[in-house]
Structure 1
Amino acid sequence: MPAQPASRTAPAAQSTAPDQDAVLRAGLGAAIRRLRKERGLTLVQLARLAELSHPFLSQLERGLTRPSMPSLHRIARALGTTQQALMVATAVSHPDTPASSVHLVRAGEGLPVSNSGGVARMLGAASYAWHPVEYTGAPPAFEEYYDHPGDEFLYLIDGEIEIDLQTFDGPRLHRLGPGDSICYPGGTPHRWRAVGAPEPIRILTVQSATEPHP
């Protein structure tokens, strides 16, 4: 008999529940605090390295606020990791998946991290060798470059974007539409922006993990 699909007992969530949001924020803050102490850094020292305020970092470590993707990128670089590796610390087991080998994320679940022009949402967990992230929205103009050690795959679901890559062979600019994808090696500075008609942008990236979960 063919296997039956897993039952879906609840409708897709449209937003993170307040109590779950607090748990996710606490998980992210604990991961940052643990790495900071392992690196022998004080809050003031990390704030200086990440070019962020000491009060903001203090609130972040206590789970009282959420960072943006740019600020999380600065924190991660100062700690010698990536923002995706920090974000997997917020992954929690879904009640529909009692098996520890399965990680389920419903629509609207996961800690939403604000990104220029939209929101980023971690879809993976620490036990996997890759970090999938969903981006909804994109900035209308290029902003700062991001780079990380893991190779990355990008798939454009909706909308149009231009992606600017500073590759080993020189700068490359590519325009992507729905269904287009691109891969680039770790260490490649990259950034993207929305182009074309004003319409929703949805992007899926999958980054290979190159280090243990913080």
Structure 2
Amino acid sequence: MAAIPGDESDARMTAELGRRISALRKDKGLTLVALAARTDLSQPFLSQIERGRARPSMPSLHRLASALGTTTPALLSGGVRGNGSAAEVDSATVSLVRVDQGSMAAQSNGQVKSLVVGERSMYPLEFVTSVTEFEDYYEHPGAEFIYVISGHLEVDLADDGIHLIGAGDTLYFAGGVRHRWRIVGVWPARLLVTQLGTDDASQNIASEHM
């Protein structure tokens, strides 16, 4: 049976993320056993991730990023230049990511894709989410901006209120604001989420969205 192009690109993205995690682990001098202990993830599961045979969930990716001394958006976007890069153009000044490139991770009832490669001053992410119940709050030092492409989303900003947003609506909140979300209705929500990142022109601030 012929391979489905979407499946092929997903497989490439998963493999690229696995190679990145493996390279960072080795740079840190960590064994799979040590990384498993730091993340509370099983060694066989980590091995599957590094070989591109399993895609980590967003909570698992968050644990991996923390254990490897980086952030979730940076881990997703930190592609390898040259052969096997996750972008068509990945230079110090330009990142061009085609539709079948980039890195993806699973989340509860959905997925997230990085829309840039490399260390950048901002990290735009594309979320497709079907989460219907609020999960735990997340908090990070960098500001975040949400643009709803389709669907409806209820965003709980803790002390800053609960906000219902739909297609075309935007929501910005500063770093340090606790937040979580869930969809409203039966259809998934598709979102453009941009988080503050790091490069030579910015402070060492980045964020993980969970």
Q: TM-score category by the smaller chain?
A: 0.7 to 0.9
Which one of 118, 129, 144 corresponds to residue 121 of structure 2? 129
CA RMSD of aligned residues (A): 2.9
- Cα separation, partners in 2 of 1:145 and 1:159, compared to 1, 3 Å: same
Aligned-partner SS, 2:171: strand
Give the share of equivalent positions with the same residue, in percent: 44
Tell me what 1:35 maps to: 24
**Shift of the alpha carbon at 1:70?**
1.9
Maintained 8 Å contact 1:16/1:109: no
Tell me what 1:207 maps to: 195
Maintained 8 Å contact 1:24/1:110: yes
- Cα separation, partners in 2 of 1:38 and 1:147, compared to 1, 3 Å: farther
Bigger CA drift: 59-68 or 36-45? 36-45
Maintained 8 Å contact 1:138/1:192: no
Counting only pairs closer than 5 Å after superposition, residues 1-214 of structure 1 correspond to structure 2 as 16=6, 18=8, 20-90=9-79, 92-94=86-88, 101-107=93-99, 109-166=101-158, 170=159, 172-195=161-184, 197-210=185-198, 211=204
**Shift of the alpha carbon at 1:62?**
2.5
**Shift of the alpha carbon at 1:88?**
0.6
**Shift of the alpha carbon at 1:22?**
4.6
Maintained 8 Å contact 2:148/2:191: yes
Larger radius of gyration: 1
**Shift of the alpha carbon at 1:194?**
0.4
Maintained 8 Å contact 1:16/1:111: no
Maintained 8 Å contact 2:148/2:190: yes
Maintained 8 Å contact 1:30/1:62: yes
- Cα separation, partners in 2 of 1:98 and 1:27, compared to 1, 3 Å: closer
Gaps of at least 5 residues in structure 1 are 1-13
1:39-70 Cα shifts (integer Å, max 9, x gaps): 44332222222221111111212223211222
- Cα separation, partners in 2 of 1:204 and 1:58, compared to 1, 3 Å: same
Gaps of at least 5 residues in structure 2 are 80-84, 199-203
State how many pairs are aligned.
193
Q: Give the whole-Å Cα distance in 2 for the aligned partners of 1:186 and 1:208.
A: 9
Bigger CA drift: 202-211 or 74-83? 74-83
Give the alignment's TM-score, normalised by structure 2.
0.76
Q: Give the whole-Å Cα distance in 2 for the aligned partners of 1:140 and 1:109.
A: 29
Give the alignment's TM-score, normalised by structure 1.
0.75
- Cα separation, partners in 2 of 1:53 and 1:157, compared to 1, 3 Å: same
Q: Give the whole-Å Cα distance in 2 for the aligned partners of 1:181 and 1:154.
A: 5
